[in-house]
Amino acid sequence: LAKTTQPISMDSYEGQEVNITCSHNNIATNDYITWYQQFPSQGPRFIIQGYKTKVTNEVASLFIPADRKSSTLSLPRVSLSDTAVYYCLVGPRNRDDKIIFGKGTRLHILP
């Protein structure tokens, strides 16, 4: 499984765009990049998944450069309710192994 590195914590303000970058230098050819969001005392929630270039859904965008050694989760115009822990995971879509969550990035949105 590819190892991922994310900032431990980030602060931002309401209305701002937040970008959280994840490094995954040893990503394999068949690996996908998946992001989860977790609110306190709740289970994580799948946000977005991508393989290359850009993926966008109603919640976020995921930017993946050509070398795929990093990825950036972009949250547009955040609100206080976006305060959560965000996890970056890397692995094959058709996985054979368990899913490992790292420490994630604790995002704190300020008023």
Q: Which residues bind other proteins (CB under 8 A)?
A: 32, 34, 38, 41-46, 49, 87, 89, 91, 93-104
Nearer Cβ to other proteins, position 43 or 111? Answer: 43
Nearer Cβ to other proteins, position 13 or 39? Answer: 39
State the nearest-atom distance from the C-beta of 10 to other proteins, in Å. Answer: 17
Secondary structure of the chain as H, E, C letters: CCCCECCCEEEEECCCCEEEEEECCCCCCCEEEEEEEECCCCCCEEEEEECCEEEECCCCEEEECCCCCEEEEEECCCCHHHCEEEEEEEEECCCCCCCCCCCCEEEEEEC
State the nearest-atom distance from the C-beta of 105 to other proteins, in Å. Answer: 12
State the nearest-atom distance from the C-beta of 44 to other proteins, in Å. Answer: 5
Nearer Cβ to other proteins, position 12 or 34? Answer: 34
Gyration radius of the chain over CA positions? 13
State the nearest-atom distance from the C-beta of 73 to other proteins, in Å. Answer: 15
Nearer Cβ to other proteins, position 78 or 89? Answer: 89
Contact call for residues 59 and 78 (beta carbons, < 8 A): no
